[in-house]
Chain A
Amino acid sequence: MTDPEQTQQEEAGVGVDIQATAQEARKDHKPAPSVREPIFELENVSVFYSGKKAVDGVSADFYRNNITALIGPSGCGKSTLIRCLNRMNDLIPGATVEGRIGYHGQDLYGPEVDPVEVRKRIGMVFQKPNPFPKSVFDNIAFGPRILGMGDIEERVERALSGAALWDEIKDRLDDNAFGMSGGQQQRLCIARCLAVDPDVILMDEPCSALDPISTGKIEDLMLELKEQYSIVIVTHNMQQAARVSDRTAFLIVELDADEQNRWGRIVEYDETEKIFTNPSDKRTEDYVTGKVG
């Protein structure tokens, strides 16, 4: 069984002795570069669950200060793929990753890499908002406290402001986070990521449980956050991918000959504008136009 406290810490992206590396990762930050800088370099990445292939041979670069969207039908492995980017799949017994995932040029799965450190620099926001059963303040302060980060109050305010939540919630910091609306809870989870100075934010269907207004707020927030962070998002909402992302990868489900095994594979990865106006692959065309599901 997974220790709930440990899971909470991992989802909050906490680890050991990482403040210096986090600052190092951020100190030379520049706004959206004119020349693209790969932040992730995926080389022939395949993922297996208990030996069964879930994702097959993905090669792609995801870029800094970009929003990269992963789209595709259910079961195409997009959530599996995004969970490889901060080693969340390590938490699943029997999950193995083949190929190479470079992160800032370093092998993300190298033997010297601490997965907890990875999850701190590469935060994740899930489909369902998952605040801790604590106050708003303590939710945000949770990670920084464990990491021994200073200026907790300032850090909490900065994180909530960064998640466009400060003005709404500043007078209710002691209230239980469960009392917030779904949209606020999701922005709280984003703020929780921001509080530990991440480099990348992964979002796995972050708006699928939200109403259109809350979705619009999260999308606005993503566009603001990409000036400072790199974002990878899995979404079932193709219009959301079209609205917010710079590049889009389309994955399909492939079946073996006897249709017993299925796995996902990228068939097209390009500028979002190209994917939604003039895709190169007929399968992408059929999916984005909704002709096939």
Chain B
Amino acid sequence: MPEQARIHYQEELEALEVRALDGLNLVARALERTVEAVQHQDTELAELVIADDDVIDGRYLELHQSILTLLATQAPVATDLRLISAMLHMLKNIERMGDQCVNIAKLIPIAGHEPPADERIIKNIVTMGKQVGTQISQAKRAFQGRDIELARDLVRQDDVVDNLNKECFHIALEIGDDADRREWAMTMILVTRALERIGDNTVDIGEQVAFVVTGLFREFQDASHPGEPVPEPQAS
């Protein structure tokens, strides 16, 4: 019988994946705090989100270096190579999602101490935050389990976020003539836009799951040709 080999390398690769997926936990926590800060106009919590982004950036840099070392020293191929490529993409997604949380956190002081908030927009932002948090968790499970179906389902999940984003935009358009209220609403549009982008990043991670499993990269939704069917990659 063939003997198992390169056990140390396999353990190293597995440990890298665990650390990379844990990066999604960091983002989920940052997102939770960000939405809570928006909901309660909590500038201190917002500052904590900004400060803690260094942890996410640090994780990105640490894993990026580890992956370069692994590429240089172990010359991974086949599924291992696809996994590493997917992890590099995912790490960039993680770093970008962390940055979007920071973008939101920086808007909180701008919105003012006791802003003329519209409950409908705040409620939608909280719902969006929960939904995007669910998607981050789902992307992680899909990656861990190499589950293409769960990954593809992220597109359906993300529609919820997209629709809430559009709804907030329409509410902002009709918010009335009060200048402060309009300014606040415009600021919240930037918040919902950032949340919508985080949702998109979870779909991107789902696409990487399909790449790891099938070896084919295809966007689940082609943004430049909306509405057109995208062929499903099949597991080989």
Residue numbers of A with Cβ under 8 A of B are: 73, 238-239, 242, 276-280, 284-286, 288-293
Q: How many contacts A-B (CB < 8 Å)?
A: 45
- Distance in angstroms from A247 CB to nearest chain B CB is 16
The stretch from B28-36, B75-83, B163-171 touching chain A is B75-83
B2 within 8 A of A: yes
CA distance A276 to B76 in the complex (A): 9
Closest chain A residue to B13, Cβ basis = A289
**Interface hits, B31-48 → A, CB 8 Å:** none
Residues of A within 8 A of B4 (CB): 291-292
B5 within 8 A of A: yes
- Distance in angstroms from B37 CB to nearest chain A CB is 44
- Interface size classification for chain B: 10 to 19
Residues of B within 8 A of A291 (CB): 4-6, 10
Residues of B within 8 A of A280 (CB): 236
CA distance A286 to B236 in the complex (A): 15
Closest chain A residue to B81, Cβ basis = A277
Closest chain A residue to B6, Cβ basis = A290
Known: A277-B82, A277-B215, A278-B215. A242 touches B2 (CB 8 A): no
Known: A277-B215, A278-B215, A278-B236. A242 touches B5 (CB 8 A): no
**3 smallest A-B Cβ distances: which pairs?**
A278-B215, A292-B2, A290-B6
Closest chain B residue to A286, Cβ basis = B2
Closest chain A residue to B75, Cβ basis = A239
Tell me if A289 and B78 are in contact (CB < 8 A): yes
Known: A278-B215, A278-B236. A288 touches B2 (CB 8 A): no
Residues of B within 8 A of A286 (CB): 2
Tell me if A289 and B2 are in contact (CB < 8 A): no
Tell me if A277 and B77 are in contact (CB < 8 A): yes
Residues of A within 8 A of B80 (CB): 289
Residues of B within 8 A of A285 (CB): 78-79
Tell me if A278 and B78 are in contact (CB < 8 A): yes
